[in-house]
Structure 1
Amino acid sequence: MNKKRILYLCTGNSCRSQMAEGWTRHLHGDWLEAHSAGVSPHGIDPRAVKVMQEVGIDISGQKSKSIEAVEDLEFDYVITLCDSAKKSCPVFPARTLYVHVPFDDPPVLAMSAESEEEALNHYRRVRDEIGDFVRKLPEFLKSRLHEKTQR
């Protein structure tokens, strides 16, 4: 069976897109080949790795990549996870389903945290929101594909 390819894009490819890639591999790796990239990649956020490990998903081996690093791959789905990525998203072939699903940026939220635990709670909330989204991904993509064909 040929897997469908999905690309998650965000600004730094350090947190949200890495979480989404990890969740997708964990929940839908049998039918989706997950990738992530960033507009301006700057390494994987250690807090993202930590909170994903708390739910049994290891993203420590994933790499932070630029959009250019994946430009030779063809994607069936591209999902931007922040407004910056949406604005900077490259053009993909017409057959690619492009969707924008924004999530809060845990590193930005954590800057105002008064403790490490409070900072991690921001990461946990976003991790869980992304996890809920990825769990519902088959239905979400099916509805979006249906909308696309109705236009």
Structure 2
Amino acid sequence: MINILVLCTGNSCRSQMAHGYLNHFLDKRKVMVYSAGIETHGINPGAAAIMKEDGISIDHHTSNHVDEYSDVDFDFIITVCNHANENCPFIPSKNAIRLHHNFYDPSKLVGTEVEKHAAFLKAREEIKAYFKKFVEEYLSGDKVA
């Protein structure tokens, strides 16, 4: 079993979208995906709505603190925002590959509903493309045994 942790500040938006796409792209019998934050803010309604538009439900996800997974030995730890990358507590996974990409944060936008929707769509498409490429590079074919 391959364990993947996606880490963000509040585990409400970007990490939740990444978690949703990883579950969508991967065989759940061979890979376990976790998402967490260095804080917990609950699932962002805008993130849940924009994922539903792409046919993926994250409504059942929970917002978890990274400390909840201290006993999991991760193979991949992926931070999806600079704040989490810079403030992440020590995660004692022996041989984890650590990756970082600072995704745009749509939850910070103040504007009209149309502008907010466009911001969530932009973030979703960036996250979708990144994690599709991640799966192809790190977890395709023989790599997931």
Of 119, 135, 141, which aligns to 2:138?
Answer: 141
CA contact under 8 A between 1:24 and 1:32: conserved in structure 2? no
CA RMSD of aligned residues (A): 1.4
Of 115, 118, 140, which aligns to 1:118?
Answer: 115
C-alpha deviation, 1:64, in angstroms = 0.2
Task: Output one character per residue of 1:54-93: Cα deviation in whole Å (capped at 9) or x when no partner.
Answer: 0000000000000111111111000001111111222333
Q: TM-score, normalised by structure 2?
A: 0.88
Match of 1:128 in 2: 125
1:21 aligns with 2:19: yes
**5+ long unaligned stretches in structure 1:** 143-151
Q: Distance in 2 between matches of 1:102 and 1:141?
A: 19
Q: Distance in 2 between matches of 1:132 and 1:34?
A: 17
| Within-5 A mapping of 1:16-95 | 16-30=14-28, 31-89=30-88, 90-95=90-95
The structure with higher relative contact order (CA 8 Å, sep 6+) is 2
CA contact under 8 A between 2:12 and 2:42: conserved in structure 1? yes
Q: Distance in 1 between matches of 2:68 and 2:94?
A: 21
Q: Work out the percentage of aligned pairs sharing the same amino acid.
A: 36
Match of 2:142 in 1: none
